[in-house]
Amino acid sequence: MAEYINVGSVDEIDEGDAIVVDKEQTGAEDDIAIFHAEDGNFYALNDTCTHETASLADGWIEGTEVECPVHSAKFCLKAGTALCMPATIDAKTHKVEVVDGEVHLYPSVPATQA
Amino acid sequence: MTTSQVPEASTCAPTPPVGQLPRPKEMTQMLDVSSLVDADGGLIERSIYNDERIYKQEMARIFARSWLFLAHRSQFKKPGDFFTTYMGEDPIIVTMDKKKNIRAYLNSCRHRGVRVCRADAGSTKMFTCTYHGWAYNLDGELQTIPNQQAYPDDWNPKDWGLVEVPNVQEYKGLIFGNWDADAMSLSDSLGDDMKYYLDAFIDRDPEGTEVLGGVMKWTLDGNWKLAAEQFATDWYHVNMSHASALMVLSPTGKGPKPEIASTPGRQFTSEHGHGAGFPTHPKSRFDAQTVHEYYDYDFLRERLGDDRVEGPMTTGHATIFPSFSYLPVNGSIRIWHPKGPNKMEVWAWVLVDKSMPEDVKNAQRLYNLRTFGPSGIFEADDGENWSEIQAISEGFITNNTSLNFQMGIGNEHEDGTYPGTTSELYSDAAGRGFYRQWTKLMNTPAWHETKTRPAADKEEN
């Protein structure tokens, strides 16, 4: 089983909010945004929008989608799929697990392998 | 409570508001308006209300250098909250940055000039242009643009931030902006005397004030000065223009008694063009009953002094030069936005004391709508008069016939009770003061005419 990082307890990220885990800390190719979606679950994507330089963690979370705060591209939080223009490239997902109220991030492990 | 200053804006947007490409002199020719206004003699030449060149000069010499009301502090609670308005005809975004400072930017993309914020108010992380996607953060910095690799290597997004209003200051919740970085402070511009009258309205409650709901907006045919001047100086019209409204509101249905209709009172005129008038007859007030019963008048007498409670606290009118006006009686604060020489847009808020219980706030809101909302029984009377003046102003003979501002000439003095220069309530003193200031500014080159232009600087370096 791959290594995880404990990024904090579930109480530390409000629903509809997101935090950023620095790539220095994860060794991943990009900073990772962890979203507390409106379905109550936690999801992680590469923080930088696949369209232009923008932090998806700063975006608007609606349901299980995030809208980029800069050019309004939308991504599926579960699969990273680019849902509308101007984004045409999917966002990379990372596996997240909640264990005993703690949020565990598996950097660079795709969410689908959970 | 003291004057609070919004922290000095940072210098993140290095673009000065005017002048990368200097305009030829012929395009910026100014008129000498001194023969159009005889403030001492009380005569006004009518063309100041409809002449295109005068209007353009007002944009450059009045609106580009005066303190203009932007928004109320209570409209901003968290970073990213924004409100869009105008300074003159310039579109403006007012927002709270991440450090919770209030900042104001020209709402126009640096690329092709589209407004980067199209909403009236809301909350955002970024102001993104809908045309090509240039995106600016809350500090006005150009954060990202699509396809940046196509620009020259030495092209720096830092040079293309939103143009920032360099001077934003606050007085007791009222936030004003000024394009002149070296302008006299808002506090000095109001002066202790105007603050005395203004505080009678906005400093009754130690907790301060807040606006209720959104902004009511409507357009009127009429030059912006017709409204600004009336709120500065004109109690005279009340018994005539508002006769039917006064009858409806009076307990007998017949209108106010003679001693109230001819109430004594004072009218204040400021050396900076502001004006305020108020009756002093104890029964010359028509505030909402619920609000009247809510107030603890002993407390207010202690806080504001008897003279203020018996004068400017309740009924009256005022304009802070050039285009911000208010009515204490129903908590109306408003801007007269110029929209060409012949048109104005009225933006009106309902301002209430923070400590008021909800039912009192709501009573004031309803009373405001009934009297001075867009369909208010008083408001409609005023708008009709202003539009009537404007409707005939293209007549050649009409427009060459001077207007009369002579009421109360010679009776301005310091009365020892109410601060500053005052006259009788029924007077044009503050109107003369308004146009004296207007003439002074119109005939004095503004900062953007006298400073070295940046393009010239670059050539020299």
For residue B144, give the chain A residue with the closest CA: A53
pLDDT at B17: 66
Same domain, B11 and B110: no
Residue-wise pLDDT tens digits, B288-344 = 999 999 999 999 999 999 999 999 998 899 999 999 999 999 999 999 999 999 999
Distance from CA of B84 to the nearest CA of A (A): 19
Q: What is the mean pLDDT of residues B29-44?
A: 96
Which residues does B contribute to its contact with A (CB < 8 Å)? Answer: 124-126, 128, 133, 135, 143-146
Contact A69 B144 (CB under 8 A): no
Q: Do B338 and B284 fall within a single domain?
A: yes
Q: What distance in Å separates the CA atoms of residue B215 and residue B224, rounded to the nearest whole number?
A: 18
Where is average pLDDT lowest: B87-101, B267-281, B345-359, B443-457? Answer: B443-457
Residue B388: C-alpha distances to residues A3, B3, B225, B340 (Å): 78, 40, 14, 17
pLDDT (mean) for A61-83: 95
Is residue A109 pLDDT above 90, yes or no? yes
Same domain, B96 and B208: no
User: In this model, does residue B2 exceed pLDDT 50?
Assistant: no
Model pLDDT for residues B138-183, shown as the tens digit of each residue: 999 999 999 999 999 999 999 999 999 999 999 999 999 999 999 9
Those residues with Cβ within 8 angstroms of residue B307's Cβ, 6 or more apart along the chain or in another chain? B417, B418
> How high is the mean pLDDT of chain A?
93
Do B278 and B250 have their domain in common?
Answer: yes
Residues of B whose CB is below 8 A from A72? 128
Measured in degrees and rounded to the nearest 5, phi and psi for residue A7 equal -95, 5
* ipTM of the complex in this document: 0.73
| CB–CB contacts below 8 A, A to B | 31
Residues in A touching B145 (Cβ below 8 Å): 52
Say which of A59, A69, A71 has its CB closest to residue B133.
A71
DSSP B144: E
- Let me know if residue B1 belongs to a domain: no
Judgement on whether residues B143 and B196 belong to the same structural domain of the protein? no
B241-258 mean pLDDT:
88
Residue B23's domain comprises 7-30+452-461
Stronger pLDDT, B250 or B421, i.e. the higher one: B421
Taking CA–CA distances from A58, the nearest residue in chain B reads B125
Claim to verify: residue B254 and residue B384 sit in the same structural domain: yes
Q: Does residue B258 have a cis peptide bond before it, meaning omega lies within 30 degrees of 0?
A: no
Look at residue B60 and tell me if it is in a domain: no
Residue B418 belongs to a domain: yes
Pairing of strands A65-67, B43-44: unpaired
Secondary structure (DSSP) of B7-76: PPPPS-----SS-SSPPPGGGG-----TTTEETTTTEE-GGGGT-HHHHHHHIIIIITTS-EEEEEGGG-
List the one residue out of A59, A45, A17, A55 whose CA is nearest residue B144. A55
Q: Contacts of residue B144 in chain A, CB cutoff 8 Å? A: 52-54, 70
Among the candidates B114, B137, B169, a domain finishes at B169
Q: Does B220 share its domain with B355?
A: yes
Whether B125 and A71 lie within 8 Å, measured CB to CB = no
Which of B98, B123, B127, B128 to substitute to test the interface with A, most A CBs within 10 Å? Answer: B128
- Same domain? For B436 and B456 the reply is no
- Has residue B38 been placed in a domain? no
CATH code (residue B124) = 2.102.10.10
- Both B300 and B345 in one domain: the answer is yes
pTM reported for the whole predicted model: 0.89
Is the domain of B410 the same as that of B369?
A: yes
Q: Residue B456 above 50 pLDDT?
A: no
CA–CA min distance B346, chain A (Å):
33
Interface touch B125/A72, C-beta < 8 Å? no
**Chain B residues with CB-CB distance to A71 below 8 A:** 128, 133, 135, 146
Minimal CA–CA distance to A45: which of A16, A25, A74, A75? A75
B434 shares its domain with B459: no
Looking at chain B, the whole-number percentage of residues with pLDDT higher than 90 is 84
B39 in any annotated domain: no
The nearest CA of chain B is from the CA of A59 a distance in Å of 8
| Sequence letter at residue B352 | V
- Residue B388 confidence (pLDDT) above 90: yes
Q: Are B291 and B360 in contact (CB under 8 A)?
A: yes
Give the residue from chain B lying closest to A57, CA to CA.
Answer: B125
Average pLDDT for chain B: 92
Are the Cβ atoms of A54 and B144 closer than 8 angstroms?
Answer: yes
* Domain count for chain B: 3
Question: Mean pLDDT across the stretch B266-284?
Answer: 94
Range in B136-150, B246-260, B416-430 the model is least confident about: B246-260
Residue B458 Cα distances to B166, B447, B453, angstroms: 21, 19, 9
